A and B are shown apart, each in its own frame.
Chain A
Amino acid sequence: MSRNDLTDDGTDSAGISRRDFVRGLGAASLLGATGLSFADDGMDGLEAVDDPIGNYPYRDWEDLYRDEWDWDSVARSTHSVNCTGSCSWNVYVKDGQVWREEQAGDYPTFDESLPDPNPRGCQKGACYTDYVNADQRVLHPLRRTGERGEGQWERISWDEALTEIADHVIDEVQAGRYDAISGFTPIPAMSPVSFASGSRLVNLLGGVSHSFYDWYSDLPPGQPITWGTQTDNAESADWHNADYIIAWGSNINVTRIPDAKYFLDAGYEGAKRVGIFTDYSQTAIHTDEWLSPHGGSDTALALGMAQTIVDEGLYDEAHLKEQTDMPLLVREDTGKFLRASEVGLAQDADDPEKVFVMVDADGNLRRAPGSLGERDGQHDHSKSIELDFDPQLSVERSVDTDEGSIAVRSVWENLTDELSQYTPEVVHEETGVGENTYQRVAREFAEADAAKIIHGKGVNDWYHNDLGNRAIQLLVTLTGNLGDPGTGLDHYVGQEKIWSFHGWKVLSFPTGNVRGAPTTLWTYFHAGILDNTDPDTAEKIRESIDEGWMPVYPEERNDGNRPDPSTMFVWRGNYFNQAKGNVAVEEQLWPKLDLVVDINFRMDSTAMYSDIVLPAASHYEKYDLSETDMHTYVHPFTPAVEPLGEAKTDWEIFRLLAEKIQERAQERDVEPIEDRKFDRTIDLTTIYDDYVRDWETGEEEGLVEDKAAAEFILEHSEETNPEGSDEQITFDDIDEQPQRFLEAGDHWSSDIKDGEAYVPWQDYVHDKNPWPTFTGRQQYYIDHDWYLELGEELPTHKEGPENTGGDYPLSYNTPHGRWSIHSTWRDDTKMLRLQRGEPVVYLNPEDAQQRGIEDGDTVEVYNDLGSIEVQAKIYPSSEPGTVRHFFSWEKFQYPDRDNFNTLVPMYMKPTQLVQYPEDTGEHLHFFPNYWGPTGVNSDVRVDVRPSGGDSE
């Protein structure tokens, strides 16, 4: 019996609340409870207590609380709402219902000198149970009866829902519009089976799989540009190994709650922790020093620090010579790298035009080992960048070529020239950071034994994010802080990487032919960006598409027409709510879609604006895997309870849809059709058979259940089942305890080693394999035509686009907050009670006062794009002139259904639309989540006024 059984449960005379209904407890059990008497017997007959301090005789009642500490079973699970925490939890079940959760706390320790890896979790994970039984829960298939977004539904049967979707899909495919069918689901690592469920069906249909890492501006473009790699980060435990840590725009104390301890504890191990934030952020409060550059000026600050390091000779010369493009020669006339072919070197190479040139200590021209022209593709570990000569960094001379004498300078000379502009006066003027302070921090960083930068969304959301990335990366490169414990630049934002890569890939895309779409381009193209951006950008977008550098689906047909997208499946994500350029997306893209299907456990904004909503199992009702690059373990989801209502697992939903498509296709007697792009046939009459077949072994019906799909991933990935080893990680193993991966596959740049935290880049820095760039080195000079045209061949500080959103006095920012993982938990009652129950905007007191705004007032934040109504919250720690609206409130939390993204326009930076080298793209080429335009959003201008003031 529960203590709370004694009391009324809050139900009103209308009877049982929905919450009680879904819990299955019902009011009856509460009302029917008996137990301790309420009757007040006053003081009469009260037994005496001599001394309540230590000598209290009447303690039997204490069983009341002891009886509550009770449960029937425990299952291991976790949460996968586009969160990369990957925290293993125990889910406690009582009376057939999920009761509560608590961190499992049993990650094995791999290094005793580091803080204990347990417990991983946060306040949101600690109340996921609320969602399992929430009012928001989708319990039945629903079909829209009102307009999209109105929240008017009719309950339909599974068969009805699946038949309607199947017939629509069959029509589209048979009409050749399979590439008008889109599937959007973010980051696979935190639930790869659910990711694969829909991706597998979309792949079999010939449909389009969407990128997300670039779309959400989580991808740091500077990393593919400079390091030829999507991203590769140390696991968070490695933070503790650093002697000097800069948290740069990465508010880890709110966005990396499970990992924060490694940063916090490092201070007690002697590390200095510096925070670089535009506000005195929740992470800044626990640093040893805080720098406060103006928003968007991080690039200038980084280049100023780089200038100090170069000017004072604090750089790691050996690292620069061997590991970077600094010694390479660049033609003064064209700005292009000098090629070996131009000076008669490297004639034995496959392609001497893609071999680069250095000058040795004696002044002789030498081919740069590891250049792309002598490698077999981007990743060729049979070659080495190790030098058998000592190249000069500073070169300024002429060389004899077929064209005559040509003036050349090394990249280093070009770079030092560029950096020389960043004098202390300039840096202070641009950033507001004190001249002495930033130079001292630069020195301290350079002189530390192991220095690390934790790089975050705060510096990655700006239009010129690629320049910012490259400038900040330059600091770890100059100081040789790469490849060793406690070093590197760790970018933790929406980590795309999944450890068990191969198994996930072949499960998600069994045909091997993938229509991957760069989502920023897809979204904005269909939302009309070509008519809404500056002519130069529009021209570059067209050129990129025409050159085939970036794909847009549906493809242009032979007659020159391009159909509109028609169909969208969204699962595990809230695409519509999170779309920057939200006004255009709602007004232009959304009406083009004839059918939007959302698969969800809760009614989020995308579900609200869908045509059919299918009820998905919650995270405590299914099998799956959980991984992250914040750590090196894998652990599972297992069902603590059966799916509530009519909900089904993602895997079952898409499997049933495949079955229905096959059934209807057979009934309709449709013919297989040839895919116009790939050498394959799309046959809807066998699509279910194909869906459940294990394509690796050929076993029919091998993948009917989600657990089998999870086991398939473990079986077919070298991280969990390494070749040539008896060791293997099975699903049972991870159910018992999280397991550390056995190996790191080729998509990682170091190995996983016993007793050590994972640190990237060792393949290059220690093993001397060529970096996967054009030059085979960390490449700070990009001689792409567009980069030269835009003056961005080297990292440089540029002002962002002016007056984005209009000419308004305040800058507008939508950082990740503490109370949600994107939109999930934004609507959760328990979380809202610890905030203000509605969206708030953080204002500097001065800005508020000037506008007659007080804390708690309802205000409008507005620009040319629109206006949103929110509550003002006074935040003295923000810089005057800044408006901080922690994202990602749902549309239905705003009175007019506009949201935080209403104020954000569509924009795209041309440098991220390229292929490089221009002809083959082996360094930079479109690949979903690796390279593509990012959906940036921090250069926005707004103003704020009390609500009910001037009308729009």
Chain B
Amino acid sequence: MSTDQQDEQGEDDTLVNVADGVDHQVAMVMDLNKCIGCQTCTIACKNLWTEDGGSEYMYWNNVETKPGEGYPRGWEDSGGGWESSEHSDRSPGEIPDEEDYGRAWEFNHEEIMYEGSDEPLRPRDGAEWGPNWDEDQGAGEYPNSYYFYLPRICNHCTHPSCVEACPRSALYKRQEDGIVLVDQDRCRGYRYCVEGCPYKKVYYNTVSKKSEKCIFCYPRIEGEGPEGETFAPACAEECPPQLRLVGFLDDEEGPIHKLVNEYEVALPLHPEFRTQPNVYYIPPFAPGQHTEGGETVDIDRIPRQYLRELFGDGVDEALDTIDAHRQRVRQGGDSELMELLQDKNPAKQYRLEVFDDE
């Protein structure tokens, strides 16, 4: 089929760049203009996959306030990824400290409620840092402060440096959909993958002594489960503002392809890590700044340079494109792009079965 042919042409000649050996690539677009930091995605993921057994501290899906330390703290400066677009040499990375993730606090509910303790309800071992510690903080000064929310999962990269990092070849990228997994049989917990992932989206389980990560909810997208129904990943399905589109990058009729490749408004996070993520972001707008006299002025509230650092140089054009389409619609015109970004058609939101009948 056509996408396979394109795959073989190499990344310079094709719009759709799927890894060699991978038939189709799952992908996600997250619209940061709809992320309200509610963390329903975080909870949806946690309840499904990381409730106990050493995974309590893990958030395969997390939402962090930007600018901010993120989860784990300081991940953006922790190294990993590739030295060049040849994808031959990995950049060295660091393994975050336990404290950088924050511990999964346990509390003294029973003592207070049923045993007469006069202590306040508190984390038993204290709390110094957590996965959302700097929520809503951002940067800048009132009234021109700024912040926004950044939801993150594993990027299921086209060139996953975590896979390359594992000396046991216990990480792999699935042929049928490009999902990156840690083989829980084969993994021995060396944590090279944790070090090698520049997004710090592989986590070490100190109880099982293995590494774990986001599995793109493959049992859901495969239609496993008692009713045999296909579901998008829980983080997407449960998102109240429905800011995530889920499908295949190489589904050229799908919205992801259009947003990423045609309109070029959906951008990878930190492209300079060179892993070529398959999660893309619609960059955030913000209201203009205020003068000292309280007047609104048309000056970017979020410094453009900061957005470039996050999403690369494509961010200027992406914002301009969206802005132009908004203006067009405001003046009564039509825009496919504006329709794509609205949640009016669930069948469009999740296109997971397009390649089932090949």
Contact = CB atoms under 8 A, between A and B. Distances in A.
A866 interface: no
B116 A146 contact: yes
A911 to B, nearest CB: 30
A837 B143 CA distance: 29
A52 B171 contact: yes
A875 B137 contact: yes
B147 A151 contact: no
A834 B42 contact: yes
Interface string A852-886: 00001000000000000000011111111000000
Contacts of B290: 290, 292, 434
A22 B329 CA distance: 55
Interface stretch (B47-55, B73-81, B195-203, B309-317): B47-55
A135 B109 contact: yes
A834 B102 CA distance: 10
Interface string B24-42: 0000000001101111101
Interface string A282-294: 1111111111100
Interface string A601-619: 0010000100000000000
A252 to B, nearest CB: 9
Nearest to A53: B173
Interface string B168-188: 110111110010010111101
A9 interface: yes
A649 B47 CA distance: 26
A895 B120 contact: yes
B44 to A, nearest CB: 6
Contacts of B308: none
A29 to B, nearest CB: 13
Contact of A66 (B222, B238, B345, B346): B222
A119 interface: yes
B219 interface: yes
Interface string A413-443: 0000000000000001001111111000000
Which residue of B46, B118, B296, B341 has the most chain A CB atoms within 10 A of its CB atom?
B296
B120 A150 contact: no
A289 B290 CA distance: 10
How many chain B residues sit at the interface, stated as a range, is 35 or more
A578 B131 CA distance: 29
A31 to B, nearest CB: 12
Contact of B294 (A136, A272, A432): A432
A112 B339 CA distance: 12
B326 A268 contact: yes
Contact of A69 (B181, B224, B341): B224
Contacts of B338: 268-270
Interface in B267-308: 284-288, 290-291, 293-296
Contact of B39 (A114, A123, A432, A893): A123
B237 interface: yes
A283 to B, nearest CB: 8
Contacts of B53: 3-9
A46 B146 CA distance: 51
B342 interface: yes
Contacts of A603: 109, 113-114
Nearest to A279: B142
A258 B345 CA distance: 17
B115 interface: yes
A890 B120 CA distance: 10
Interface stretch (B88-96, B207-215, B254-262): B207-215
A268 B329 contact: yes
Contacts of B109: 134-136, 603, 827, 829
B113 A55 contact: no
Interface residues of A, number: 130
Which residue of A100, A146, A280 has the most chain B CB atoms within 10 A of its CB atom?
A280
A598 to B, nearest CB: 12
Contact of A265 (B21, B42, B132, B342): B342
A68 B219 contact: yes
A838 interface: yes
Nearest to A293: B294
A123 B40 contact: yes
A54 B169 CA distance: 12
B106 interface: yes
A272 to B, nearest CB: 8
B135 interface: yes
A606 B22 CA distance: 58
Interface in B329-350: 329-332, 338-339, 341-346
A837 B126 CA distance: 9
Contacts of B145: 280, 876-877
B36 A257 contact: yes
B105 interface: yes
A433 B34 contact: no
Contacts of B205: 7
A66 to B, nearest CB: 4
B52 A122 contact: no
A594 B144 CA distance: 54
A62 B33 contact: no
Nearest to B178: A54
Given A58-B186, A70-B225, A267-B33, A434 B294 contact: yes
A824 to B, nearest CB: 14
B172 A52 contact: yes
A830 B105 contact: no
Contacts of A434: 290-291, 293-296
A10 B171 contact: no
Given A9-B52, A437-B295, A833-B104, A151 B342 contact: no
B51 A437 contact: no
Interface stretch (A35-43, A320-328, A900-908): A35-43
A876 B140 contact: yes
B38 A830 contact: no
A830 B119 CA distance: 20
A121 interface: yes
A254 interface: yes
Contacts of B166: 52
Given A7-B54, A69-B219, A116-B242, A282 B114 contact: no
B40 A608 contact: no
A112 B346 CA distance: 11
B43 interface: yes
Contact of A270 (B20, B225, B240, B330): B330
Contact of A103 (B137, B238, B339, B346): B238
Contact of B173 (A52, A120, A264, A856): A52
A834 B130 contact: yes
Contact of B22 (A6, A54, A152, A842): A54
Nearest to B176: A54
B142 A837 contact: no
B10 interface: no
Given A833-B102, A876-B141, 16 more contacts: A4-B51, A40-B188, A53-B20, A56-B183, A69-B48, A103-B238, A116-B346, A126-B40, A126-B44, A286-B36, A292-B290, A431-B294, A829-B107, A833-B105, A834-B135, A845-B141
16 contacts: A4-B51, A52-B163, A54-B19, A56-B174, A66-B219, A102-B237, A112-B344, A126-B238, A151-B112, A267-B33, A269-B338, A286-B36, A289-B287, A292-B290, A832-B105, A892-B113
Closest 5 CB pairs of A and B: A54-B21, A434-B295, A4-B53, A56-B172, A69-B219
Interface of A: 3-10, 18, 36, 38, 40, 42-43, 46, 48-49, 51-56, 58-62, 64-66, 68-72, 100-103, 105, 112-116, 118-123, 126-127, 129, 134-136, 146, 150-153, 253-254, 257-258, 260-261, 264-265, 267-272, 275, 279-280, 282-292, 428, 431-437, 603, 608, 818, 827, 829-830, 832-838, 842, 844-845, 856, 873-880, 890, 892-895, 897
